[in-house]
Structure 1
Amino acid sequence: MLFRLLRARLRPYRKEIALIVIFQFLQTLATLYLPTLNADIIDRGVVVGDIGYIIDVGAGMLGITVLQIVAQVIAVYYSARVAMGVGRDTRAAIFTTVQKFSAREVGQFGAPTLITRTTNDVQQVQILTLLTFTMMVSAPIMCFGGIILALRQDVPLSGLLLIIVPVLVAVVSAVVTRMRPLFRSMQERIDRVNQVMREQIAGIRVIRAFVRDERERDRYGLANEELADVALRAGRLMALMFPTVMLVINLSSVAVLWVGGHRIDSGSMQVGALVAFLSYLMQILMSIMMATFMFIMIPRAEVSAERITEVLETESSVIIPASPIREVTQHGTLDLRRVGFRYPGADAPVLHDIELTARPGEVTAIIGSTGSGKTTLLNLVPRLFDATDGTVLVDGVDVRELDPDLLSRTVGVVPQRPYLFSGTVASNLRYGNPDASDDELWQALDVAQARDFVERMDGGLDAPIAQGGTNVSGGQRQRLAIARLLVHAPEVYLFDDSFSALDYATDAALRAALTQHTADATVVIVAQRVSTIRDADRIIVLDDGRVCGTGTHAELMDTNDTYREIVLSQLTEQEAAL
């Protein structure tokens, strides 16, 4: 999974990778050649006393060292560029994929894990990419080149490598195999910490209201402790690896000096050859050490790559049509024909055989008890979900065949919990229509009964809005969301219980102004409050996901027990008859 992800992300960087390989190769060759020159200086220069030879070879070594430095700088520069590019491209790919998700896929993953996968997981892959090009390109060349050159210096002494290298590889492998499950657990614990933190930030008012600060501290402390526990276990393994590797390296050096000293004493080996052999041994073992860094990162990066790939390979349940319809002959019509919807894995459908017709100039209301499927029904129209049965038609065309841009221009929705973005009042109102003038914004605010409080805000249209609209009240947030939809000016307006936070006077004034502003549009209102929908041209009553009544307020009061029960739970008999 890791290498498949890297192969896909590295494809645009072929030229940079070629340069990295070339300069890493040059740098490694220079590193391998220097001990041989050093041995020549000792054996042919120092022992013989040829000063000229020492100067000539020393100058050559200096030139090779400069080449080594230049090649390394260039290789690291391009390695960093490629690694940063891979991180940038992967984050962009995740973001683009998530943007295509329907509410179903977003709910399937959850916001905390999607954030972790876009940040922490991508960072692990990015670090591995950097280490791959700065270490793993040169490590194999240095290891095998060091072995060959060590054999040239002394074959019998090279027999020690048959013991040293397998021992070092065994130590590294034993530790790395135990790290992988720990790193997977660590990423899951990071998800949990992010989830708890996100809940506490979003629910700070509820926490304060119920004075549950201590409980939330304990909950976060538990999640944090679980993460720390896994991180400590992984850290202990890493702490064990390096001393063990260094022990093997130091014992190897002692063994080489002991055996090599005896061979020099017997006349079978020269001093310079022993010095060169010791240098090659260090290069071989250091190349294994560099590989060790990689082996430490690979398990965590592999887990991260799996989590990233899981997001990238998840297909949205809302599929963009291959040949979308971009022109329609009807305008503002909405029809639902035998529509049903079932959540994945649910035992029963949420909606059954829904029939609904809405036309321009009409107000269609949907009412029902909690859990009857009102919000789910409304979400099918702008394709936040796709119906699992039946057909949703906008302007006479199945929404699954409409161009997404055309559907967005035609259908606008104010969700049950409206969301405002960080910025200003104006930037939020222009979200669906960036070219709207200030006059159009104020007109929309007038209709939404929001002009007064916006004028009182410091800066008016330029007043700052915090992320989520947390610096305005729930009623103000609803009115700004309604104004944003009015600026967008779609043909079909969908209001999902969008007046629930308004007082009765503001609700009545807003609906009166809205009736005039949307006189030629199709309006569908989902509401719990009977006073909000009693004057609708058509009221649809939902019960347990089924339409159990359709008609005007007066008709349903006479013929529908479910509607009558809802009305009388809010109004007296006399008030309901007015």
Structure 2
Amino acid sequence: MIRILAKSIRENKKYSIIAPILVFYQAMTNVAVPFLMGDLIDKGIMKGNLTYICHLGLVLLLLALTGIITGTTASWLAGRAAAGFSKNLRHDLFEHIQQFSFENIDNFSSASLVTRLTTDTNNLQQAYQGMLRIAVRAPSVMIFAFVMAFVVSAKMALIFVVVIPILTLGLFAIIKKARPLFHQVFQRYDVLNQVVREDVRGIRVVKSYVRQETEKQKFNDAADGIYDVFLKAQRTMALNAPLMQFVVNATMLLLCWFGAKLIVGNQLQDGQLISMFSYTMQILMSLNMLSMIFNQLSMAEASASRIVRVLKAQPSIESPANGVQTVKDGTVDFDHVNFSYDHDPQKLQLQDINLHLKAGETLGIIGKTGSGKSTLVSLLPRLYDVTSGEVQLGGINVQDYDLKTLRDNVSVVLQNNVLFSGTVKDNLRWGNPHATDEQIVQACKWAHADEFIQKLPDGYDTMLEQNGTNVSGGQMQRLCIARALLKNPQVLILDDSTSAVDTNTDAQIRQAFRDELPHITKIIISQRISSISDADQIIVLDHGKITAQGTHAELLKSSKLYHDIYESQNYQGGEHHGEANS
């Protein structure tokens, strides 16, 4: 785990080395000061030696100044190293997530990945900074102070031999009890992020159904879950203070008791007793600091394991070495394809799919909700990989193509596609970053989007809000179709992507495809028979199986399900007989 995370240090390595060295020096100066102070009292003040006082006072002043300078510099360097490490770690995480397939995303969930990129990374940043400073300073001060205490008075230092193990055992017992609670916190953060994400994305639905109170309750429950676990952890960690106070007071009493006896017996001087008090505080406070850093590291360890899980996860779909770089044409073949999200041949979402499309042909797909329509088309651009069988494009297995080449030649337009904040033109250029204005306008005309774009306040330079909230659903779908066409693909997949478009506009878009884009293979998923009735072939999917296949006229005779859908839509007035046969 450490080896994987250490890769994100990179250019911050020098700061990560220099900072602990400076902290180590600062620890030595801090421990030297009580010893010299005791010397100053015993040999200077008590004996009235002004020269000795001035000389040692100057040494103490220099030590204090260098300690402040090195401490400040170490703090700055540690902060810079930790911030740089965190920046690199976020970059590495995000870059790795970008390579994930849909299957990988499903395994982690979007909300959990957001928590890892934010809360978990912040925890590691704080822990890394603490390791460079406190984790070096505390043990250094404790060891040096323990040694110097024996130098001052071996008899008095024996008190620490008894006290330190008691405090150490107590602190670690507290940490051991609190540690599992911090592991639970991040799972609660995942739940909270999921609630917030769903509510913000679905805010229009929430308001239209007046479900604000329900959503508030869900949020409060998630927030209370985090609060409850943190409260249990803090109750446990709160035991640190009384334990520390008890040990410090007990040690001070013992020092006073034995110190007084030794001073009366001329075995200890006043300055040495003062030095022992200082070393007592340094040793015990260092132990307390160590307990706090271990507590922080316990939280960081939970975050680190979650982050490393993501970094170690291999994308289930990767581009092959020396993958095929060109797609000959839009011929599509599905040969005995089976698919399962769980890779379980006993739980297939698609069963024995056989399809053969020539370049330029149009395939219509219809079926009930959950029949596997979207799953089927997702296999062509390798958003998922088949469980068995083979999918071919241009006569070559899709798994043999370079992944970028494959996806550049297979454009997918989803029903709930996404637009990003930026201008209309910026969004369209996702399909082709180098598209000219003329190419953009032409694609929009094919998608019947140009007319409404021209009416926008700034035309193609109109700013779109995130998720395209300032355009209608039908306008958003037409923009997404135009964006897909700008890729100039061999295959265009429309996954119910004209559902928000009126039937007249839908027919005009299909007419433009037939007249202007005859070379592109079209695969159209639709719940409206009028959207697929003129396809070269239509398949009816039911429970992951092709139950019927043929033209519109053939299916009306051979498929009861297709005929029932057709009759239902005509009866409801959603379609007209003549239009369905157009």
Tell me which interval the TM-score lies in, with the shorter structure as reference length: over 0.9
Q: Which residue of 2 aligns with 1:440?
A: 439
1:438 positional shift: 2.2
Q: How far apart are the structure 2 equivalents of 1:558 and 1:287?
A: 85
Alignment pair present for 1:331 and 2:329? yes
Matched with 1:74 is: 73
Q: CA deviation at 1:17?
A: 2.6
Shift of 1:386: 0.7
Report the secondary structure of 2:486's partner residue. helix
Deviations 1:473-501 (A, max 9, x none): 21111111111112222121111111111
Q: Which residue of 2 aligns with 1:520?
A: 519
2:122 counterpart residue number: 123
Give the secondary-structure state (helix, strand or coil) at the position aligned to 2:489: coil
CA apart distance, 1:180 = 1.5
C-alpha distance in 1, partners of 2:37/2:373? 83
> Could you tell me how far 1:6 is from its partner in structure 2?
4.2
C-alpha distance 14-215 of structure 1, shift in aligned 2 (>3 A): closer
Once the two structures are overlaid, the 10-residue window that deviates more, 215-224 or 124-133, is 215-224
Offset of residue 515 of structure 1: 2.3
Supply the AA of the counterpart residue of 2:251.
Answer: S
Deviations 1:358-390 (CA, angstroms, capped at 9, x unpaired): 232221222222222110010011111111111
Secondary structure of the equivalent of 2:82?
Answer: helix
| CA 1:237–1:471: 2 relative to 1, 3 Å | farther
Q: Specify the code of the residue in structure 1 equivalent to 2:330.
A: G
User: How much has 1:426 moved relative to structure 2?
Assistant: 1.2
User: TM-score, normalization: structure 1?
Assistant: 0.95
Q: Does 1:487 align with 2:486?
A: yes
Q: Give CA-to-partner distance per residue, 1:339-365, whole Å, 9 cap, x none.
A: 110111765211112122223222122
Per-residue deviation at 1:269? Answer: 0.4
In the TM superposition, what whole-angstrom CA distance separates every residue of 1:497-537 from its partner, at most 9, and x where no partner exists? 11111111111122112322322211111111100011111
Q: Distance in 1 between matches of 2:101 and 2:450?
A: 34
Mapping for residues 544-559 of structure 1, pairs under 5 Å: 544-559=543-558
Helix, strand or coil at the partner of 1:416: coil
Question: SS at the partner of 2:239?
Answer: helix
Question: 1:537 is matched with which residue?
Answer: 536
Residue 199 of structure 1: how far off its partner (Å):
1.4
C-alpha separation between the residues in 2 aligned to 1:475 and 1:504? 11
Displacement of 1:202 after TM fit? 1.6
Task: Kindly indicate whether the alpha-carbon contact (under 8 Å) linking 1:358 and 1:524 is maintained by their aligned counterparts in 2.
Answer: no
In structure 2, what is the Cα distance between the partners aligned to 1:31 and 1:104? Answer: 55
1:48 and 2:27 aligned = no
Contact map agreement 1:171 1:245 (CA 8 A) in 2: no
| TM-fit CA distance, 1:540 | 2.0
Name 2:156's counterpart in structure 1: 157
Residues 320-348 of structure 1, C-alpha deviation per residue, up to 9 Å, x if partnerless? 213322245x2222222111101117652
Residues in 1 aligned to 2:577 and 2:133: alpha-carbon distance in whole angstroms: 82
State the partner residue of 2:219.
220
SS in structure 2 of the partner of residue 387 of structure 1? coil
Q: Counterparts of 2:334 and 2:131 in 1: how far apart (Å)? A: 55
Counterparts of 2:259 and 2:8 in 1: how far apart (Å)?
Answer: 48
**Native 8 Å contact 2:431 2:485 kept in 1:** no
Q: Which amino acid aligns with 1:483?
A: A
SS at match of 1:528: coil
Cα distance in 1, alignment partners of residues 416 and 334 from structure 2: 24
Deviations 1:259-278 (A, max 9, x none): 21221121110111111122
Q: Percent identity?
A: 38
One-letter identity of the residue aligned with 1:344:
D
Residues 12 and 85 in structure 2, CA contact (< 8 A), matched pair in contact too: no
For structure 1, which segment, 374-383 or 550-559, has the greater mean C-alpha deviation from structure 2 after superposition? 550-559
Q: Quickly say closer, same or farther: Cα 1:508–1:154, change in 2 above 3 A.
A: same
User: Cα 1:577–1:49, aligned 2, differ >3 Å: closer, same or farther?
Assistant: closer
Tell me how far apart the structure 2 counterparts of residues 452 and 574 of structure 1 sit (CA, whole Å). 29
In the superposition, the TM-score normalised over structure 2's length comes to 0.95
Aligned to 2:18: 19
Question: 1:375-394, aligned counterparts within 5 Å?
Answer: 375-394=374-393
Q: Secondary structure at the match of 1:488?
A: coil
Q: Distance in 2 between matches of 1:396 and 1:345?
A: 25
Query: What is the 5 A alignment of 1:119-518?
Result: 119-328=118-327, 330-344=328-342, 347-518=346-517
Report how far residue 316 of structure 1 moved.
Answer: 2.0
CA distance in 1, matches of 2:445, 2:453: 10
Pair 1:19–1:545, CA change in 2 (3 A): same
Q: C-alpha separation between the residues in 2 aligned to 1:34 and 1:380?
A: 71
Secondary structure in 2 matching 1:338: strand
Segment drifting more, 412-421 vs 552-561? 552-561
Shift of 1:304: 0.9
1:570 aligns with 2:560: no
* SS state at 1:205 partner: helix
Matched-pair contact (CA < 8 Å) for 1:412–1:494: yes
Task: Write the distance in 1 (CA, Å) between the matches of 2:492 and 2:549.
Answer: 20
Distance 2:566 2:312 in 1: 48
How many angstroms does 1:82 deviate by? 1.6
Equivalent residue letter for 2:247: V
Structure-1 separation of matches of 2:232 and 2:113 = 25
8 Å contact 1:27–1:68 — kept in the other structure? Answer: yes
Paired residue type of 2:563: R
Query: Quick one: structure 1 residues 577 and 360, their matched pair in 2 at CA, closer, same or farther if it must change by over 3 Å?
Result: closer
How far residue 547 of structure 1 moved from its aligned partner, in angstroms, is 2.0
Q: Distance in 2 between matches of 1:544 and 1:237?
A: 53
Greater Cα shift, 499-508 or 318-327: 318-327
Deviation at 1:253, TM superposition (A): 2.3
| Kept in 1: contact 2:492–2:523 (CA 8 A) | yes
- What is the CA–CA distance in structure 2 between the aligned matches of 1:83 and 1:185, rounded to whole Å? 25
Shift of residue 4, structure 1, vs aligned partner:
4.8
Instruction: Tell me: CA distance 1:397–1:574, structure 2 relative to 1, closer, same or farther (3 Å).
Output: closer
1:200 and 1:207 in contact (8 A); partners too: yes
Distance 2:179 2:537 in 1: 60
AA aligned to 1:84 is: A
Amino acid aligned to 2:409: T
Residue type of the partner of 1:217?
A: K
Post-superposition Cα deviations, 1:421-451, rounded to whole Å, max 9, x if no partner, equal 1222111101121111222222222221222
Question: How many angstroms apart in 2 are the aligned matches of 1:345 and 1:266?
Answer: 83
**Distance across 1 between alignment mates of 2:361 and 2:325:** 25
Contact 1:336 / 1:357 at 8 angstroms: preserved in 2?
yes
Deviations 1:89-134 (A, max 9, x none): 2211221221111112212221111111110011111100000111
Q: CA deviation at 1:11?
A: 6.2
Determine if contact 1:5/1:305 at 8 Å carries over to the other structure: no
Gap change, CA 1:345 and 1:485, over 3 Å in 2: closer
Give the secondary-structure state (helix, strand or coil) at the position aligned to 1:479: helix
Residues 50-97 of structure 1, C-alpha deviations (whole Å, 9 max, x = no match): 101111111111112222122212222221122112211221122122
Equivalent residues of 1:449, 1:506 under 8 A apart: yes
Which 5+ residue runs of structure 1 have no aligned equivalent?
A: none
Pair 1:62-2:61 in alignment: yes
Query: Take 2:310 and 2:385, find their aligned partners in 1: how far apart are those partners?
Result: 20
Count of residues in correspondence between the two structures: 576
8 Å CA contact retained: 1:496, 1:527 = yes
Q: Is contact 2:443–2:482 with CA below 8 Å preserved after alignment?
A: yes
